[in-house]
Amino acid sequence: MALTGLEIFKLLPKTNCKKCGRPTCLAFAMQLAQKKANLTDCPDVSEEAKNVLGAASAPPIKLITLKAGEKIFKVGEETVLYRHEEKFHNPTGVGVTIRDDLDGGAFSERLKKIDGLKFTRVGTEIGIDIIAVQNMSKNVEKFSSATKMVADNSHLALILMSDSVENMRSALDVCGNKRPLLWSANAQNYEGMARLAKEKNCPLIVSAPRLEELADLTEKIKSLGVSEMILDYNSARLKDVLQGLTKVRRAALKKNFRPLGFSTITYVKENDGYQEIIKASTYLAKYAGIVVLDVCEPWQIMPLLTVRQNIFTDPQKPVQVEPKLYQVGQANENSPLLFTTNFSLTYYTVEGEVEASRTPAYILAVDTEGTSVLTAYSGDKLNEKVVAKAMANAKVEEKIKHKKLIIPGLVAVMTAKLKEELGWEILVGPKEASGIPSYLRSTWS
């Protein structure tokens, strides 16, 4: 729990020496409680106070870092329950399993397929983060040779899945430049796993089917010297898991309950290609730090990665498209030219309607710092100069012959100034994007 000012006061030297710049130790304590001061301001603070206060001020959800060569994958340190309150910080890791009992050809084929799971959406590359090697064979050599294959040939971060401490140890020896995540410690094997995690400095997944057991286990493992953990609430029921993920997040953020102050992982096992992605998407939206799946078809992984891209968008920062000239269909020098702003929602709405009109066209996305048409206009981020600059940057004059520009109906008021600035004919389009198809059909045939 966060400490109150009085609790902090008890840990301070109580000398009122003013070296911290506050009149009294109590005043300093109160500011510490409100996180308006730093403990380092006090030169005489005891080691004990440092430890206690340091622990109390740690983030409620522990940050975990995996390494794959130069690449670093981070999870944890979330601060809110709902994205509109601030934003979600570290995008949920998406991982795919590979079994160590696959024969050589099938193994390399699957490895190659998993490693290549990346797509480009709205100008951004999205891909999976993790490959999870499963010790299905229970065999130590098979597990370490499979791990070595993966470590040497994949760019992804690594999870090692085995209940055997001995097998885990041998696999850890061949992980090369990766810092893997160990899955898992449970009520039976936690002592050995914790010792191994400590020795190799690797984060550890803790598995149990009840939250109470998870809390017990994390405390025990912490006392063995491991602080980097991820929780695996491994109930078989969808609703249990969904509720468990919410309870863990709330316990950490609302109650500052340290035994559950960790990120979470879920392994989605389904024999149904739709339900597996439904569940993974659901867990992703509702707080899972990592989701791991067996399936890896592009039509399954791409929507899941898109859910992540959407949910982890910063709600305070409008998503922008690159400000440039976009071509819809087989547009040529006689095709209509419309402009809109580079706020992605505005742009894609316009693009969708232009596509629906089946009229090949150009859309000029004008840089308004990602604001919508009216917001941009009223904030003077959209004026005739801005449009002229965008047209010049996109070399519109070289691509379009007719010198007619269709402008959003909401800024019809810009007509005269635009005409003057550009010397083009200005056509006022519809106020709503939904009017574009009929507008284009009636004015551009």
Residue 340 CB, shortest distance to another protein, in Å, is 14
**130 contacts 103 by C-beta, under 8 angstroms:** no
Our finding on whether 383 is near another protein (CB under 8 A) is: no
Residue 376 CB, shortest distance to another protein, in Å, is 17
Our finding on whether 146 is near another protein (CB under 8 A) is: no
The H or E element containing residue 382 is none
Our finding on whether 356 is near another protein (CB under 8 A) is: yes
**393 contacts 310 by C-beta, under 8 angstroms:** no
DSSP string across 193-244: HHHHHHHHT--EEEEESSHHHHHHHHHHHHHTT---EEEEE--S-HHHHHHH
> In residues, how long is the chain?
445
Residue (134 or 357) nearer to another protein, CB? 357
Could you say which of 149, 168, 291, 307 contacts another protein (CB under 8 A)?
A: 307
Our finding on whether 257 is near another protein (CB under 8 A) is: yes
Residue 437 CB, shortest distance to another protein, in Å, is 7
Our finding on whether 186 is near another protein (CB under 8 A) is: no
Could you say which of 315, 322, 378, 416 contacts another protein (CB under 8 A)?
A: 315
Cα–Cα distance for residue pair 196/11, rounded to 1 Å: 35
Could you say which of 57, 79, 108, 434 contacts another protein (CB under 8 A)?
A: 434
Residue 154 CB, shortest distance to another protein, in Å, is 19
Our finding on whether 110 is near another protein (CB under 8 A) is: no
Q: Which of residues 264-293 bind another protein (CB under 8 A)?
A: 272-275, 277-278, 281-282, 285-286
CA 27 to each of CA 1, 23, 445: distance values in angstroms, whole numbers, following the listed order: 21, 7, 76
Interface segment toward another protein; rule CB under 8 A; list 241-249, 321-329, 385-393, 401-409: 241-249
Cα–Cα distance for residue pair 32/20, rounded to 1 Å: 11
Residue (169 or 279) nearer to another protein, CB? 279
Our finding on whether 295 is near another protein (CB under 8 A) is: no
DSSP string across 230-279: EEEE--S-HHHHHHHHHHHHHHHHHH--GGG-SEEEEEE--S-HHHHHHH
Q: How many CB atoms lie within 10 A of CB 36?
A: 9
DSSP summary character for residue 92 = P
Residue 440 CB, shortest distance to another protein, in Å, is 11
Our finding on whether 328 is near another protein (CB under 8 A) is: no
Our finding on whether 27 is near another protein (CB under 8 A) is: no
Cα–Cα distance for residue pair 61/63, rounded to 1 Å: 7
Cα–Cα distance for residue pair 24/430, rounded to 1 Å: 66
Interface segment toward another protein; rule CB under 8 A; list 9-17, 133-141, 227-235, 434-442: 434-442
Cα–Cα distance for residue pair 276/293, rounded to 1 Å: 8
Nearest to 95 by CA among 53, 36, 154: 154
Q: Which of residues 42-101 bind another protein (CB under 8 A)?
A: 82-84
**76 contacts 61 by C-beta, under 8 angstroms:** yes
Contacts with another protein by CB under 8 A lie at 82-84, 119, 121-122, 211-212, 215-216, 219, 238-239, 242-243, 246-247, 250-251, 254-255, 257, 259-260, 272-275, 277-278, 281-282, 285-286, 297-300, 302-304, 306-307, 309-311, 313, 315, 344-345, 348-349, 352, 356, 434, 437-438, 441
